Amino acid sequence: MSDPKDSMLAYLVIREGSKWTDVFRLTPGRTVTIGRAATNQIVIKDERCSRNHAEIFMTGGSWTLRDLESRNGTLVGGKPVHGDFTLSPGDVVRVAHCQMAFVHNLSEAFLDVEPESEARTGEETVVGTLVSGLSDSKVLEAFEPTTITHRRGQTRFLKRADSADAGAPGVGRAAAQLCRLAFELANQSDPVSLSNLALDGLFEGTRVDAGAVLLATRDRNVPPTSSGDLEVVASRTAVGFPYHRISDFLASMVLRDGEAVLARNIAGDSSLGLRDSKGVYHATSVICAPIRQGTIVFGLVHLYCTDTSKTLDPDDLEFTLAVAENVALALKHLDRQQELTENLSLTQSEIVQLRKRLGAESEIVGSSQLMRHIQQEIARAAPSRATVLIRGESGVGKELVARAVHFASSRKKGPFVCLNCAALSESLLESELFGHERGAFTGATERKIGKFEAADQGTLMLDEIGEMSSSIQTKFLRVLEGHPFERVGGNQPIRVDVRVIAATNLDLEKAVSDGSFRRDLYFRLHVVEIQVPPLRRRPDDVIELANHFLERFKEETGRRTRGFTPSATSLMQRYRWPGNVRELKNVVERAVLLSQGDYIDVDDLHLSNLATATESGEILLSRGAYEPLPLAEIERRHIEATLKSTAWNKSRTAEVLGIERSTLDRKIRRYGLKRRES
């Protein structure tokens, strides 16, 4: 009796040509794969072999062969294998040009028979039997006549030519055509025109008479798996019937393998889906090449020939693959260009939104001689590290000038921090400037960093610097001199690198004389001074600013206001603008919201009758009467008159005067103003 273990031993004796060349031992429990891909245990380098062609494994004590839906089939003894086939000793398995004898004993494989003639005789016998016993449709089903004759993963047309190829006329012509086509593809602005241009080149460089370019219908980072995931972007035919869409079988194979294929002998092959209105198949050969980026295939070039006197050859396949590679590169550039355009648009939109949140503009608006002088001063001051003092009336745009200095300096990538010194009490101002530790005072539940720390490596703007108390001025001066500071309630020294820009609408020289502002701090701040002129001194900028604010508020509100009437324009140029640019902005915003017509007219401009605050040092208190008075007395009377006109509505009064509500409260206390009951 034979040992059962002997039946477990099996070999595949591999033959190439007329000689047996290799032996592969089959091991129980291990599946052996056969195919063209390098990942298989048995690799067959033949264009007619699929990447994963067949596999052999043991089941139920017997060795079984299974064809993996290969394109050109697997034969045993000349018979095509369908499903699982149980191998017997002496069976000859044929895949493309390679033959493998299945044996339990190696001596059984080497018979005194000419291998090629044996295989040929067996195959002819089998085919003859099939043809005599089956209908035509069953013959097609049992043994596909269509043959994939060539496959190409890369094309030599896109590689540096060897000396042997360089002199070949065909290669030279193809390279010249591809070079011209590549330049033209790079200049296309959309996928449709690009695909049509590619088809022009393919019809010129190959012998096809019908074809199309198909691209993925969804995200190109998600590879399509079937023809249903592809959209025909461009198609063309040079024959009497329209282009016929690629079959699912051929599309799936190229999408899966990522290789260009050339198929012949396809007349009557329904798997390729090429037929006219009468149901007659006409295509003699087909080329399908992948459009890919890296390992991802996101499109196909599908071409076929219907002329029986013409047959597509490997050079046509190479040329088509080269064009497909150029199409992929051009599409990649189009996608990148579109992505950059979208990112640029998004970035610009984000910048605009951020500037709106910060209340800053992209540039200082105004083209008058005074504003050009301001811009020159900003350009000179920005590169240095010196402290800048910005002076001007309330509402002229001192913060805007400070921002321009910051963003024109080497600190533009650092933070820009702004603090209004007049808006806070002494204790809160110290906490805001220098920070505080947890428990430093009632309500200090967490540690807080101050504006100086927040502005490290950047710029700190202190508005209304003249309102800072004496004790804070002392500590502030030490920090300006480069000394470390401590948070309120802390003892850890902190050093920062901050450029300070101070702004004020007060007469600091008078404050120094009065003793309310430290002399040493004044000289420390007064290094570089920029004087911002009031709006009434630059009337040429009024209409430019008005139009600027009009466009902004039209965009924000969706109103369709078309502009200002000539009367409104004339009035705005004559008006003295005591509230400066801030007042102009508010007037235009109110007019855009409340105007009923297409143009803003005089009636839509709600202008005040207030006098300007600091233009000449004198003021007309009544029509035709002049009374010389100190500035403080003029300010007291003016604030009192404004309070009366608003029925002591402090918020409204502060808005009219163009100052903060907290500043108004201090001035009311300073001048001892009281509401008198009528």
Provide the residue count of the chain: 678
Sheet of strand 84-86, all strands in order from the earlier edge strand to the far edge: 42-43, 32-35, 54-59, 62-67, 84-86
Q: What is the 3-state secondary structure (H, E, C) of 332-363?
A: HHHHHHHHHHHHHHHHHHHHHHHHHHHCCCCC
At residue 95, does pLDDT exceed 70? yes
Residues 6 or more apart whose CB falls under 8 angstroms from that of 585 comprise 545, 549
Least confident stretch, 337-341, 561-565, 570-574:
337-341
Tens digits of residue pLDDT in 518-564:
999 999 998 999 999 999 888 889 999 999 999 989 888 888 888 99
How far CA 301 is from CA of 143, 153, 239, 341, in Å, comes to: 28, 14, 18, 28
At residue 50, does pLDDT exceed 80? yes
| β-sheet bridge partners, residue 42 | 34
**What is the model's pLDDT at position 361?**
45
Residues 6 or more apart whose CB falls under 8 angstroms from that of 342 comprise none
**What is the model's pLDDT at position 171?**
62
Least confident stretch, 219-228, 253-262, 296-305, 448-457:
219-228
How far CA 18 is from CA of 22, 117, 420, 471, 484, in Å, comes to: 13, 9, 97, 106, 93
E strand or H helix at 256? helix 248-257
CA 348 to chain CA centroid, nearest Å: 13
**What is the model's pLDDT at position 164?**
39
| Dist. CA 509–CA 77, nearest whole Å | 112
Categorize the per-residue pLDDT at 368 as very low, low, confident or very high, splitting at 50, 70 and 90.
confident
Tens digits of residue pLDDT in 155-170:
665 554 443 344 444 5
Is 54 in contact with 67 (CB distance < 8 Å)?
Answer: yes
Is 304 in contact with 208 (CB distance < 8 Å)?
Answer: yes
Tokens of 668: 């009311």
| Dist. CA 582–CA 579, nearest whole Å | 6
Tokens of 496: 């920062």
Three-class secondary structure of residue 675 per DSSP? coil
| Dist. CA 211–CA 316, nearest whole Å | 13
Categorize the per-residue pLDDT at 441 as very low, low, confident or very high, splitting at 50, 70 and 90.
confident
Tens digits of residue pLDDT in 495-508:
899 999 999 998 89
The more confidently predicted of residues 276 and 460 is: 460
Categorize the per-residue pLDDT at 649 as very low, low, confident or very high, splitting at 50, 70 and 90.
confident
Instruction: Give the strand pairing for 79-80 and 10-16.
Output: unpaired
At residue 9, does pLDDT exceed 90? no
Is 177 in contact with 204 (CB distance < 8 Å)?
Answer: yes
The residue to which tokens 């409340």 are assigned: 594
Least confident stretch, 87-91, 102-106, 511-515:
102-106
Is 56 in contact with 63 (CB distance < 8 Å)?
Answer: yes
Q: What is the 3-state secondary structure (H, E, C) of 385-422?
A: CCCEEEECCCCCCHHHHHHHHHHCCCCCCCCEEEEEHH
CA-only gyration radius of the chain, Å: 44
| Dist. CA 656–CA 579, nearest whole Å | 8
**What is the model's pLDDT at position 53?**
92
| Dist. CA 550–CA 568, nearest whole Å | 13
Please state, for a pLDDT cut of 90, what percent of the chain lies above it.
23
| Dist. CA 511–CA 509, nearest whole Å | 5
The residue to which tokens 């003249």 are assigned: 466
| Dist. CA 133–CA 135, nearest whole Å | 7
